């Protein structure tokens, strides 16, 4: 930390983040690998790799393709399943001095609910022993809805409402719903989350995209479409965060292409409480540490003592 | 940041970069390399070609935008290196063959330098490069240009075989290994596309007999019969 009198803290659902720099799901594993490169306690928080009730092998074929100032990924939610996550990763999470967020995915509403219940129960058991590994659930509604023919839950507000309502009822942990930019109306989606009792929303997940290998005359990805992230999506993400901030009163966590402290500040000015960093971790392996410092430097240079002075000024 | 000591062209589209720094890399490990700020977005994985008191060397082929940018860099300029990463080659037991196809010869040099005994089989498609360097190690070197180098190797004559090269060659090595008497432990070095390079993003994931593994942090070297190549 550069200056101690700066107030960079954020509050979401009763949880305090020491600063607005949160690592985005899927780009930071469960923190172990980056934890060997720098001190994770400098971060505001970490959202872990998306987990589902049952283990998933993820998608076959090529999983990453670089695009101008961005990348397409088709990881397909490869994860060890929630029981294995609780067993193998949470002991490490217990040791972390940063906000720990579980990113929860699913294929059916029952999967989501059962997953949330397992996380909740585990959390209660740990708390009874005076421990804590999870501070918050981030509900990823971009998963394909098995029942609705594979269309993501996060497209239509009425389809998403059921998942949000059921998961809300299944956990007492603070709930943040992660919205897809592919939603028909992302502000409506956010409003629905507020109505259903979510403590926060986060956005944006990746934008659905495509790459064709013209020589081979086929899609680069076995799964046909893939998710676009990185600097290329930032203007879209910022506009969506701004729209959502205008609609809801619950905290909004912004993300999409953040690659500098000024990018991050833009999201705060659009109204975000905190900001997540995804793809930039691949560009700069100490992205988190650098951005925490960069935000403090920006505040000093601009004479800002508290981020609230600039939050939502537009 | 590592300062470039030299960056020289050794054949058409093939370069050797020597970058300064104290590293303790093992053969078969790699670095995530970038010689630019923010564009291209991702760093490029390059194997350790050699290492000396001054730093680390990469033998690389201009394949696209990133390696093209690297090839134009001059001594005195800086590259950003993350590494050494991955597990590299396991300890070789008994008689060892090192088989490289194309730019897949790169990780074999440092491996060969550290082995008491090894037979090198190097396959090139058009132009032979670094032949003098490979021969100066002192191990027997068999060179093939334009053919299939794998056909020159009798797996049953070895206890350990390391294969590096393009994916079709690795698949061929798997088949050859399965059809041999099975005396040799055969290893392949994968070149999956990577983003983080350290095991956090799963874009490099490979199917293995016991579930998925990460090419970057569990590999890039795997037992040939362990991995499922697409
Ligand atoms: C562990 C490992 C070790 C490697 N060691 C060497 C080496 O010693 N020498 C060498 O010349 N090459 C090596 N490669 C391949 C090298 O990384 C690619 O040729 C290079 O990334 C191409 O980048 P580009 O920008 O020139 O090409 P582009 O095609 O423009 O690259 C676009 C994207 O695709 C990725 N990509 C393209 N081709 C490959 C490939 N064959 N393997 C992995 N990613 C690819 C790039 O990293 C980049 O993200 C290695 C790859 C891996 C995974
Ligand atoms: C490789 C990769 C894997 C991702 N996995 C997940 C995931 O499991 N769950 C999730 O909610 N979002 C996932 N995301 C989306 C990111 O968390 C983030 O919303 C998105 O990448 C936009 O931010 P960025 O431009 O800073 O990367 C993933 C993104 C990438 C690049
Ligand atoms: S490249 Fe990220 S896990 Fe291997």
Mark which of B55, B84, B113 sits at the end of a domain.
B84
- Spatial neighbors of A2 by CB under 8 A, at least 6 apart, are A293, A296, A297, A300
Q: Is B207–A61 a contact, with Cβ atoms under 8 angstroms apart?
A: no
Residue B178 lies in a domain: yes
Contact by Cβ (8 Å): B60, B46: yes
Pair B142, B200 in one domain:
yes
Q: What is the mean pLDDT of chain B?
A: 95
Is residue B168 scored above 80 in pLDDT?
Answer: yes
Number of domains in chain A: 1
- Whether A46 is covered by a domain: the verdict is yes
Whether B53 and B141 map to the same domain: the answer is no
The answer to whether residue B189 sits within a structural domain is yes
Q: Are A147 and A94 in contact (CB under 8 A)?
A: no
Q: How many residues does chain B have?
A: 230
* Residue of chain A nearest B194, judged by CA positions: A64
Residues B54 and B156 in one domain: no
Same domain, B113 and B218: yes
DSSP SS3 for A163:
helix
- Nearest CB partner across the interface for B200, out of A29, A63, A64: A29
Of B84, B111, B129, which residue is a domain's last? Answer: B84
> Which residue is listed with tokens 């409506």?
A188
Residue B37 tokens, joined: 């700020």
Chain A residues touching residue B81 (CB < 8 angstroms):
none
Give domain status of residue B228, yes or no. Answer: no
Is residue A117 situated within a structural domain? yes
In a domain, A256, yes or no: yes
With respect to residue B53, please indicate whether it lies within any of the assigned structural domains: yes
**CATH of residue A248:** 3.20.20.70
Residue B80 maps to which CATH number? 2.40.30.10
Instruction: Find the CATH number of the domain harbouring B166.
Output: 3.40.50
ipTM of the modeled complex:
0.94
- Domain with B190, as residue range(s), is 96-223
Which chain A residues are Cβ-neighbours of B82 within 8 angstroms? 285
CB atoms within 10 A of CB A2: 11
d(CA B35, CA B54): 19
Whether residue A79 is predicted with pLDDT greater than 70 in this model: the reply is yes
- Asked if the structure places residue A70 within a domain, the reply is no
Q: Identify the domain containing residue A188 by its residue range.
A: 10-58+77-207+230-309
Q: Is A284 exposed, middle or buried (CB count within 10 Å of its CB: 0-12, 13-18, 19+)? A: buried
Residues B69 and B139 in one domain: no
Q: Kindly give the distance from the C-alpha atom of residue A66 to the centroid of ligand 3, in angstroms, as a whole number.
A: 14
A1, pLDDT greater than 90: no
Q: Per-residue pLDDT averaged across A9-35, rounded? A: 97
B148 and B188 within one domain? yes
Model pLDDT, residue B182 = 82
The pLDDT value recorded for residue A4 is 62
Segment A242-287, tens digit of pLDDT: 999 999 999 999 999 999 999 999 999 999 999 999 999 999 999 9
In this model, does residue B13 exceed pLDDT 80? Answer: yes
Smallest CA–CA distance from B210 into chain A, residue: A57
Report, in this order, helix, strand and coil percent for chain A, each rounded to 5: 35, 20, 45
pLDDT tens-digit series, residues B100-134: 999 999 999 999 999 999 999 999 999 999 999 99
Ligand 1 center to B103 CA (angstroms): 10
Vertex A166: Cα angle to A163 and A167 (nearest 5): 80
Residue B51, exposed/middle/buried by CB under 10 A (0-12, 13-18, 19+)?
buried
Percent of chain A with pLDDT over 90: 95
Q: How far apart are CA A254 and CA A276, in angstroms?
A: 6
DSSP annotation string for B48-98: --EE-SSEEEEEEE--SHHHHHHHT--TT-EEEEEEEES--PPPP-SSEEE
From chain B, the residues in CB contact with A33 under 8 A are: 196, 198-200, 217
Q: In this structure, are B116 and B219 located in the same domain? A: yes
CA distances from A7 to A187, A259, A287, A295 (A): 29, 22, 21, 11
Residue-level pLDDT at B230? 74
A29-78 pLDDT tens trace: 999 999 999 999 999 999 999 999 999 999 999 999 999 999 999 999 99
Q: Please, which contacts does B16-20 make with residues 24 or more away whose CB atoms are closer than 8 Å?
A: B16/B49, B16/B57, B16/B58, B16/B59, B16/B60, B16/B130, B17/B57, B17/B58, B17/B60, B17/B70, B17/B73, B17/B79, B18/B54, B18/B55, B18/B56, B18/B57, B19/B55, B19/B56, B19/B57, B19/B58, B19/B79, B19/B81, B20/B54, B20/B55
B205 and B120 in a common domain: yes
Tell me if B110 is assigned to some domain: yes
Whole-angstrom CA distances from A193 to A46, A87, B27 are 22, 30, 52
Please identify, among B35, B63, B84, the residue that sits at the C-terminal boundary of a domain: B84
A66: nearest CB among B41, B202, B230: B41
Q: Are residues B59 and B100 in the same domain?
A: no
* Residue A105 neighbours by CB under 8 Å, 6+ apart: A50, A51, A52, A77, A79, A112, A140, A143
- Strands B96-101, B160-164: parallel, antiparallel or unpaired by DSSP? parallel
Say what the pLDDT of residue B92 is.
Answer: 83
Question: What are the residues facing A227 on neighbouring strands?
Answer: A73, A208
Residue A1 included in any domain: no
Contact B121, B153 (CB under 8 A): yes
Number of domains in chain B: 2
Which of A29, A57, A103 would you mutate first to test chain B, the one with the most B CBs within 10 A? A29
My answer on whether B212 and B147 are in the same domain is yes
Per-residue pLDDT tens digits for B55-82: 999 999 999 999 999 999 999 999 999 9
Length of chain A: 314
**Interchain CB contacts (distance < 8 Å): A and B:** 84
pLDDT of residue A2: 54
Within the 243-282 window of chain A, which residues sit less than 8 Å (CB to CB) from chain B? 259, 279, 281-282
- Whether residue A228 is predicted with pLDDT greater than 80 in this model: the reply is yes
A143 in catalytic set: yes
For residue A259, give every residue at least 6 positions away whose Cβ sits within 8 Å of its Cβ, in sequence order, or none: A230, A231, A234, A279, A280, A283, B38
Query: In this structure, is residue A63 part of a structural domain?
Result: no
Answer yes or no: is pLDDT of A3 > 80.
Answer: no
The predicted-structure confidence for A147-196, as pLDDT tens digits, reads as follows 777 778 999 999 999 999 999 999 999 999 999 999 999 999 999 999 99
Same domain, B60 and B132: no
User: Which residue among A64, A278, A281 is best mutated to probe the pocket of ligand 2, counting the most ligand atoms within 8 A of its Cβ?
Assistant: A278
């Amino acid at each position: 930390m550069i200056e101690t009198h700066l107030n960079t803290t954020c509050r979401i659902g009763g949880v305090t983040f020491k600063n607005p720099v949160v690592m985005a799901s899927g780009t930071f594993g469960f923190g172990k690998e980056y934890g060997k490169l720098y001190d994770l306690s400098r971060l505001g928080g970490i959202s872990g790799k998306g987990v589902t009730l049952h283990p998933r092998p993820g998608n076959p074929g090529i999983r990453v393709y670089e695009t101008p100032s961005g990348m397409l990924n088709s990881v397909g939610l490869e994860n060890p399943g929630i029981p294995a996550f609780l067993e193998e990763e949470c002991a490490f999470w217990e040791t972390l001095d940063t906000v720990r967020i579980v990113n929860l995915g699913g294929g059916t509403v029952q999967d989501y609910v059962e997953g949330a219940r397992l996380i909740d129960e585990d959390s209660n058991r740990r708390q009874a022993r005076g421990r804590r590994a999870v501070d918050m659930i981030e509900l990823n509604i971009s998963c394909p809805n098995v029942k609705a023919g594979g269309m993501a839950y996060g497209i239509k507000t009425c389809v998403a409402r059921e998942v949000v309502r059921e998961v809300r009822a299944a956990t007492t942990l603070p709930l943040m719903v992660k919205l897809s930019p592919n939603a028909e109306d992302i502000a409506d989606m956010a409003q629905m989350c507020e109505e259903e009792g979510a403590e926060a929303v986060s956005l944006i997940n990746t934008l659905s995209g495509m790459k064709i290998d013209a020589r081979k005359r086929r899609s680069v990805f076995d799964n046909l479409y893939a998710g676009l992230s990185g600097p290329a999506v930032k203007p879209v993400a910022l506009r969506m965060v701004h729209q959502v901030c205008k609609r809801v009163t619950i905290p909004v966590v912004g993300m999409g292409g953040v690659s500098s402290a000024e990018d991050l500040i833009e999201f705060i000015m659009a109204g975000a409480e905190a900001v997540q960093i995804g793809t930039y971790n691949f560009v700069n392996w100490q992205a988190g540490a650098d951005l925490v410092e960069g935000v403090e430097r920006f505040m000093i240079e601009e004479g800002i003592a508290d981020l609230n002075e600039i939050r939502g000024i537009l | 940041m590592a300062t470039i000591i030299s960056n020289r062209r050794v054949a058409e589209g093939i370069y050797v970069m020597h970058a300064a720094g104290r590293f303790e890399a093992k053969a078969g490990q790699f670095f995530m390399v970038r010689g630019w700020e923010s564009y291209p977005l991702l760093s490029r994985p390059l194997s350790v070609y050699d290492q000396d008191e001054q730093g680390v060397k990469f033998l690389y082929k201009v394949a696209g935008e990133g390696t093209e940018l690297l090839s134009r860099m001059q001594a005195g300029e800086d590259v950003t290196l993350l590494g050494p990463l991955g597990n590299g080659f396991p300890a070789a037991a008994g008689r060892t063959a090192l088989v490289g196809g194309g730019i897949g010869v790169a990780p074999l040099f440092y491996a060969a330098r550290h082995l008491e005994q090894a037979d090198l089989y190097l396959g090139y498609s058009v132009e032979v490069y670094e032949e003098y360097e490979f021969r100066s190690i002192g191990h027997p070197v068999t060179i093939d240009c334009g053919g299939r180098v794998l056909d020159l190797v009798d797996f049953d004559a070895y206890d350990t075989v390391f294969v590096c090269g393009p994916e079709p060659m690795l698949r061929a090595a798997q088949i050859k290994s399965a059809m041999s008497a099975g005396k040799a432990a055969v290893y392949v070095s994968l070149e999956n596309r990577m983003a983080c390079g350290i095991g956090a993003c799963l874009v490099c994931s490979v199917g293995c007999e016991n579930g998925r593994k990460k090419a970057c942090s569990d590999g890039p070297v795997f037992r040939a019969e362990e991995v499922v190549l697409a």
